[in-house]
Structure 1
Amino acid sequence: MFYTLLLVTFGLASLVSGLVAWAFYRPLKAIFQRIIQDAISSAWQKYILFATFVVGISGGVRIYQLERYITAHNKDQKLLTLTPERWMIEVYRTIIETLQSIAWMYLIVFIFALIAYVIVRGFEIKHSVKSAQAASKTSRDE
């Protein structure tokens, strides 16, 4: 029964991670293309996709929590049995923990992306002001 629970939580965490990665695929692509503006932006996007799966699965499949079903940590403690109620709790916990782990990772990614966007936008504005000044100076000289 433990192995089934382990496989179910792994599969569920993988599925949830895949759905989140699919939902954020286009926004991440647009963000990285806007910030990086180079072919390397696709490499960063692939890395974030990989990290989504790693963080989601490791957050959703909590091995230390599942050990309670196979190992008693002291003599007085009994092993937990997998009842239908515990199955529901473990399934719910897997979904929530997967989403929570990915949400934290994406929050960090988007904070750094926002900082990078502000920096890139600042350089663009500075460059456009210099270009406009050079164009107006050229038109006055003629």
Structure 2
Amino acid sequence: MFLTLLAVTLLLSATVAWAVSRAFSQSIERILSRIIADSISAAWLQYMKFAILVVGISSGVRIHELERYITAPQWAEKAKIIALTPERWVLEVYRTVIETLQGIAWMLLAFFVVALLAYVVARLSELKRGGGAVVPALNGTPDLPS
């Protein structure tokens, strides 16, 4: 029964991570192509997809938590192994989905913060190279230098 639970959590977390990877692929691709204006951005995109899968699976399959179903706690004298009831199955499936999404969310948050900082640096660099480019006014017409 434990091996089935382990396989289900592995497959479920991999499926959720793959779906999130597909959902964010276009956004990540646009961000990377803007920050890294080179063909290497495609390699970074592949790395990000791989990282989403790894983080999702490692967050979703919680080995230390699943050990409760095969070993009794060592600090209690008359402790028993927890039985895998249908209620526990539902709870473990729910935890797998939530933990997978939570791990990926933290990773993507870190990526987007770093990407935002890189975008600001790239934008400031472009403005410095442009030598005081014309900035549009709030009413939609460009301000002309005097």
TM over 0.5: yes
2:64 aligns to what?
64
Match of 1:82 in 2: 84
1:114-125 maps to which residues of 2 (within 5 A)? 114-125=116-127
Give the structure 1 partner of residue 130 of structure 2.
128
1:57-107: CA deviations, max 9, x gaps? 000000000000001132421101111100000000000000000000000
Cα deviation digits, residues 15-66 of structure 1 (max 9, x gap): 0000000000000000000001011111111111111011000000000000
- Work out the percentage of aligned pairs sharing the same amino acid: 54
TM-score (norm 1): 0.89
Q: Distance in 2 between matches of 1:110 and 1:23?
A: 15
- TM-score normalized by structure 2? 0.87
1:16 corresponds to? 16
Amino acid at match of 1:33: S
Runs of 4+ in structure 1 over 3 Å off: none
AA at the equivalent of 1:45: L
Shift of 1:126: 1.4
Alignment of 1:107-118 (within 5 A): 107-118=109-120
In the alignment of these two chains, the number of paired residues is 132
Could you say what the CA RMSD is over the residues aligned between the two structures, in angstroms?
1.2
CA contact (8 A) 2:17 2:56 kept: yes
The more displaced of 75-84 and 121-130 is 121-130
| Structure 1 Cα separation of the partners of residues 86 and 73 of structure 2 | 23
Q: Corresponding residue for 2:52?
A: 52
The 8 Å contact of residues 33 and 41 in structure 2, kept in 1 or not, is answered as yes
Unaligned ranges ≥5, structure 1: 133-142
Q: Distance in 2 between matches of 1:89 and 1:68?
A: 14
Query: Which protein is richer in helix relative to its size?
Result: 1
For residue 86 of structure 1, what is the amino acid of its counterpart?
A: R
The within-5 A match list for 1:36-47 is: 36-47=36-47
TM-superposed deviation, 1:130: 5.6
Residue pair 2:56, 2:100 contacting (<8 A) in 1 also? yes
Task: Work out the CA distance in 2 between the residues paired with 1:64 and 1:16.
Answer: 21
- Give distance in 1, aligned partners of 2:78 and 2:37: 61
Gap runs ≥5 in structure 2: 135-146
